[in-house]
Each structure stands twice: as C-alpha cells, then as structure tokens.
Amino acid sequence: MLVQILSAVYRLIMQGIDLYRIALVVYFLLSWMPGGYQSKLGQFLIRICEPYVGIFRQFVPPIGMISLAGIVAFFALTFIEYGVTAVFQLIFNLLI
C-alpha cells in the first residue's frame, strides 16, 4: 500500500517536472518573438518561470547580449530530476 502511494507521488513529481521543463522551453522561445511576453501566455509563463530562472541570473553573468542563465536553469532542473529519482529509488529499496 505504501509503495503504491509513493509510486503515485513519484509519477506526479516527474510529470510536474516534465511540464515545467516544457514551460521553460516555451518561455525561452517567446523571447525570440516580438511581443511574445506581452501575450496572455507570455505573462503566465513570466509568472511561473521567471522566479526560477531569476535565481540563476544572479550567478550566471551574460555574455554580451546573451544570457546563459536559462540554459543553466534548464540543466539544473534535469539534475533535480535525477536527485528526486535517486531519493525515491533509495526509499523503494528500503521498503522492499
């Protein structure tokens, strides 16, 4: 019973990370479109993506006119996903 609940929580977290990764990609692509951030979708993505990407803008300086903070934020999300997977694998191994 507990394993099934943890498995469902794990799948929910992984789906959330995947959805956020898609939101980040769309957020980054909107920067290439004139007025992309002024649309309703753009405003929504600014509210959910900018706080996360903003953390990396503090530490990753731009190179000329190009900010690499988005790329670093995207890869950091991948490492977070690996960490969540490792934690759940450890928990599953302890329970089984």
Q: Which residue bears the tokens 């799948």?
A: 11
State how far the alpha carbon of 38 is from the alpha carbons of 22, 43, 46, 52, 85, in Å.
Answer: 19, 6, 10, 20, 36
- The pLDDT assigned to 33 comes to 87
- The pLDDT assigned to 62 comes to 87
pLDDT, mean of each 10-residue run, the chain (96 residues): 93 97 94 88 95 94 87 95 96 89
